[in-house]
Chains A and B, each alone.
Chain A
Amino acid sequence: MPLFDSLYNFARWLTRDPEEADDLVQETYRKALRGFGSFEIGTNFRAWMYRILRNTFLTSRTGLRSGMTISLDSEEGAESMAPATTETPESLFFERANRLMVQEAIEELPVIFREVVLLCEVEEMSYQEIAETISVPIGTVMSRLARARHALRVALAKKMQGA
Chain B
Amino acid sequence: MSSDVWHSKIEAYADGELSASETRAMAEHLRDCPSCTLDMLGRVQLKRAVKTAGIRYTPSLALRQRVDQNLHAKDKLGRVRNWMPKLAVAAAAAVLVFALLRGWSSYQQQQTFAELADLHVATLASSTPVDVISTDRHTVKPWFEGKIPFSFNLPELSGSPYTLLGGRLSYLGQAPGAQLIFQVGKHRISVFIFQDRLGRLLPPGDTISRRLTFNVETFTDDGLRYFVIGDASADDIRQLAEMLKSAARS
At the interface, yes or no: A9 with Cβ under 8 Å from chain B? yes
A1-B67 contact, Cβ under 8 Å, with A13-B57, A89-B42, A146-B11: yes
A interface size (C-beta, 8 A): 47
Cβ contact within 8 Å between B17 and A103: no
Q: Is B56 located at the chain interface by the 8 A CB criterion?
A: yes
Query: Interface code A59-87, partner B: CB below 8 Å = 1, 0 otherwise?
Result: 00000000000000000000011111100
Instruction: Write out the residue numbers on chain A whose beta carbons fall within 8 Å of the beta carbon of B16.
Output: 126
- Pair A122/B51 contact, Cβ less than 8 Å: yes
A48 within 8 A of B: no
Interfacial chain A residues near B63, Cβ < 8 Å: 8, 22, 25-26
Q: Which of B33-41, B180-188, B226-234 contacts A (4 or more CB under 8 A)?
A: B33-41
B54 close to A121 (CB less than 8 A): yes
B59 touches A13 (CB 8 A): no
Interface 1/0 per residue, A113-128 and B, CB below 8 Å: 0000110111010110
Please determine whether B56 and A33 come into contact, CB atoms closer than 8 angstroms: no
Give Cα distance in the complex from A147 to B67, angstroms.
36
- Which of B60, B63, B71: most chain A Cβ within 10 A? B63
Q: Is the interface of B mostly helix, strand, loop or mixed?
A: helix
Asked whether any CB of chain A lies closer than 8 Å to the CB of B70, the reply is yes
B15 located at the interface, meaning its Cβ lies under 8 Å from any Cβ of chain A in the complex:
yes
CB A20 to nearest CB in B, in angstroms, measures 12
A87 to B51, CA, bound (A): 25
Q: How far apart are A83's CB and chain B's nearest CB, in angstroms? A: 5
Chain A: residues with CB nearer than 8 A to chain B?
Answer: 1, 4-5, 8-9, 12-13, 21-22, 25-26, 29-30, 33-34, 80-85, 89-91, 93-95, 97, 99-100, 102-103, 106, 117-118, 120-122, 124, 126-127, 142, 145-146, 149, 152-153
Q: Is the CB of A127 within 8 A of B17?
A: yes
B35 contacts A26, C-beta separation under 8 Å: no
Contacts of B147 in A (CB 8 A): none
In the assembled complex, the CB of B127 is this many whole angstroms from the nearest CB of chain A, namely 82
A75 to B2 Cα, complex, angstroms: 25
